Amino acid sequence: MAILEKVDKLHQAIAWQGDIPITNRYTAGVAGERFLREIKDHARILGTRCPDCDLVYVPAALFCERCFAQLDEWLEVSSQGRVFTFTVLFRDLEDRPLDPPAVLAYVKLNGSNGGLVHYLGEVEPDQVFIGLEVEAVFKEASEREGSILDIRYFRPLKR
């Protein structure tokens, strides 16, 4: 038998269709529970501090990845920060056009060494720049359910 038998008609190429039928269910985890509940209950963003490394983790982490200390010093960090980097999205995951385009940013939060990846709102894409000062816009308390989406988006800080 020839090792390669050429497929020269498309119908000769046979493919079996299938899927991987799973749904993933992720717990928030030990640190994640407290982090998200604080957003839900008090619209506040918490971090954890490693005293040895002098780092404040946001989102709050159970452990310091650098020195492997268990972190138990929790503190509130600001819900304001600066755009560290951003992108403007013109297509969704299914490759359909996004109209209007979405602005996704990594926002470094004041008083921490971390931040959140989130959408920017109340701003035109061409007005966004690295270093832009922004603040979190939380949903109403009754709408919050302990999710990162309890923050609607970050918007430019109004002075």
Partner 1 sequence: MMTAQIKEFPGVGLRESDFEQRKVLYTEWVPNARYAWDAGVAIGRYLAELKEGRLIGVRCRHCRRTVIPPRVFCEWCFRPMDEWVPLPDTGTVNTFSLCYVTWDMRRLTEPEIPAVIDIDGTHPPVGILHLLGEVEPQAVQIGMRVQAVWKPPEERTGSILDIRYFRPVREG
Partner 2 sequence: MGMRKVAVVGAGMTKFVRRALETGKELAFEAAKMALDSCELTLQQVDCVVHGTAPDAFDGVHMKGEYLADGSGAWRKPYTRCYVGGGTGVFAPIHGWYHVASGLFDICLVVCEEKMSSCQPHPQGAFLTIFDHTTERPLGPNLLWIFALEMNRYMHTYGLSKRDIALVSVKNKRNAADHPCSLLGDREITVEDVLNSEVLAWPVQRLDVSPVTDGAVAVVLAAEHVARRITDKPVWIEGVGWNLDTTYWTNRDLCYPRYVENAARMAYEMAGISEPRKQIHIAEPYDPFDYKELHHLEGLLLFDRGKAPEATALGITQRDGDLPVCPSGGLLGVGNPIAAAGLMKVAELFWQLRGEAGARQVPGQPRRGVAQAWGDLMQVGTVIVMGV
Question: Helix, strand, or coil here: 28?
Answer: coil
Does 10 sit near partner 1 (CB under 8 A)? Answer: no
How far apart, in whole angstroms, are the C-alpha atoms of residue 142 and residue 85? 31
Query: What's the closest the beta carbon of residue 146 comes to partner 1, in angstroms?
Result: 4
Q: Contact 155/134 with Cβ under 8 angstroms?
A: yes
Separation between Cα atoms, residue 110 and residue 86, nearest integer Å: 17
CA–CA gap between residue 135 and residue 142 (Å, rounded): 20
Q: What's the longest Cα–Cα distance across the chain?
A: 77
Based on the shown chain and the rule CB under 5 A, indicate whether residue 36 belongs to the binding site for Zn ion: no
36 is a contact residue toward partner 1 (CB under 8 A): yes
Q: Find which of partner 1, partner 2, Zn ion, none residue 31 binds, CB within 5 to 8 Å per kind.
A: partner 2
Contact between 43 and partner 2 by CB under 8 A: the answer reads no
20 binds partner 1 (CB under 8 A): yes
CA dihedral (140, 36, 136, 127) positive or negative: negative
- Residue 29 φ/ψ region, left for φ over 0, alpha for ψ in the -120 to 50 degree band, beta for the rest: left
Interface stretch with Zn ion, choices 6-14, 24-32, 48-56, 79-87 (CB under 5 A): 48-56
Site for partner 1 in 86-105 (CB under 8 A): 93
Residue type, 8: D
Compose the 65-84 pattern: x for residues touching partner 2 by CB under 8 A, - for all others. xxxx-x--------------
What does 30-58 look like in DSSP terms, one character per residue?
HHHHHHHHHHHHH--EEEEEETTTTEEES
Among the listed residues 10, 18, 54, 68, the single contact to partner 1 using CB under 8 A: 18
Should residue 22 be labelled a site residue for partner 2 when binding is judged by CB under 8 A?
yes
Where does this chain bind Zn ion (CB under 5 A)?
Answer: 50, 52-53, 64, 66-67, 69
Where does this chain bind partner 1 (CB under 8 A)?
Answer: 1, 3-5, 7, 12-28, 30, 32-33, 36-37, 93, 146-147
